[in-house]
Amino acid sequence: MDAARRVVLVVDDEAITREVVTVMLGIEGVEVHAAHDGEQALELARDVRPDLVLLDVMMPGIDGFEVCRRLRDPAATGHRPRVVMLTAKSDEESRRVAAEAGAEAYLVKPFSAIDLFRVVEGAA
């Protein structure tokens, strides 16, 4: 990972995922912000302008795919962060939808710390 400022936004309704990501990426000196639903995620993304958003799929309110679409909307001007889905859904259909929504990678829960570091580095 380069020494430049790296900001990651993790979005998950379950606290364990938010905490694990915050602690693991903290080791690498990444600035981590956390949101517990889609609404809060979109708001935080505007404020902190993350380089990468780690996004759960099944959340109350706006689901992860929709959040991803809005973050990656080609019509939107300005900041478009990289998105990696972070989800227990590992079926082909979900992967296809994620790719179409503009996610560049797909981490299946429970996820490995090594894979997590890899996606933050952009090597996934």
Partner 1 sequence: MKPEEAAELERAKEQLLVLARDVNAMYQAERARARELESALDALEESYLATVRTLAFIVEAKDSSTREHLERTHDYARALARVVMPDTEIGPDLSYGFLLHDVGKVGIPESILCKPGPLTDEEYEVMKTHPLIGVQIVAPITFLGGAVDVIRCHHERWDGRGYPDGLAGEDIPLGARIFSVCDTFDAMTSDRPYRRALPFDDAVSEIERCGGTQFDPDVVDSFVRMCAQLRDGTAGLAAG
Give, for 95, the enclosing helix (H) or strand (E).
helix 92-101
**Residue 14 interacts with partner 1 (CB under 8 A)?**
yes
Least Å distance between CB 87 and partner 1? 11
Strand duo 31-35 + 7-11: pairing:
parallel
Which of residues 88, 89, 102, 122 is near partner 1 by CB under 8 A? 88
Which of residues 82, 97, 111, 119 is near partner 1 by CB under 8 A? 111
Report residue 82 as tokens. 């990289």
Spatial CA neighbour of 60 closest among 95, 94, 35, 80 = 35
**Residue 109 interacts with partner 1 (CB under 8 A)?**
yes
Extended beta strands in 12-98, E state: 31-35, 52-55, 82-87
Spatial CA neighbour of 32 closest among 69, 23, 41 = 23
Least Å distance between CB 102 and partner 1? 26
Which of residues 1, 113, 121, 123 is near partner 1 by CB under 8 A? 113
- 98-122 in b/e burial notation, b at 16+ Cβ within 10 A? beebbbebbbebebeeeebbebbee
Contact flags string 26-65 toward partner 1, x per CB under 8 A: ----------------------------------------
For residues 24 and 99, which CB has a smaller minimum distance to partner 1 in the complex? Answer: 24
> Interface residues with partner 1 (CB under 8 A)?
14, 16-17, 20, 24, 88, 109-114
